[in-house]
Amino acid sequence: QKEVEQDPGPLSVPEGAIVSLNCTYSNSAFQYFMWYRQYSRKGPELLMYTYSSGNKEDGRFTAQVDKSSKYISLFIRDSQPSDSATYLCAKSGYNKLIFGAGTRLAVHP
C-alpha cells in the first residue's frame, strides 16, 4: 500500500461546478499536508498548505484535513476552465514530502 493514495481520474466537470479531490494516507507521523497544482508542461506549484485538522480556505479553494480518518480533500468552488490541471496531494515525511499520484481535472465551458 502506498503511503498516500489518490485517485488519478481523469475528472471532467462543467464550468461552475464544485469539485472535490481526495486523498488518503496511512502514516500518521509528520502531519503537514499540501495541495499542488500542475499545469501541462510546468512544475507543480503550491496551492494550499495546512497542518491541523479542519478547513482552510483561500478564495475558491478549501483544503480539509480529517486526521481521525486519515483523509485530505480539496474543494474548488465555481470551477473555471483555467482550473484544468493535475492536482497532487502531499504530506510531510522524514525530511521530505510524500506525493499522491495526482488527479487530472478538466473543466469544460
Partner 1 sequence: DAGVIQSPRHEVTEMGQEVTLRCKPISGHDYLFWYRQTMMRGLELLIYFNNNVPIDDSGMPEDRFSAKMPNASFSTLKIQPSEPRDSAVYFCASSNMGDQPQHFGDGTRLSIL
Residues binding partner 1 (CB under 8 A): 30, 32, 34, 36, 41-46, 49, 88, 92-97, 99-102
| Bridge partners for 106 per DSSP | 12
Q: How far is the CB of 13 from partner 1 (least distance, A)?
A: 22
When the beta carbons of 8 and 16 are compared against partner 1, the nearer one is 8
When the beta carbons of 57 and 78 are compared against partner 1, the nearer one is 57
What contacts 106, CB < 8 A, 6 or more positions away?
10, 11, 12, 13, 84
The C-alpha cell that represents 70 in the structure block: 486519515
Q: How far is the CB of 30 from partner 1 (least distance, A)?
A: 6
H or E segment at 44?
none
When the beta carbons of 42 and 108 are compared against partner 1, the nearer one is 42
What contacts 66, CB < 8 A, 6 or more positions away?
53, 72, 73
Q: How far is the CB of 82 from partner 1 (least distance, A)?
A: 18
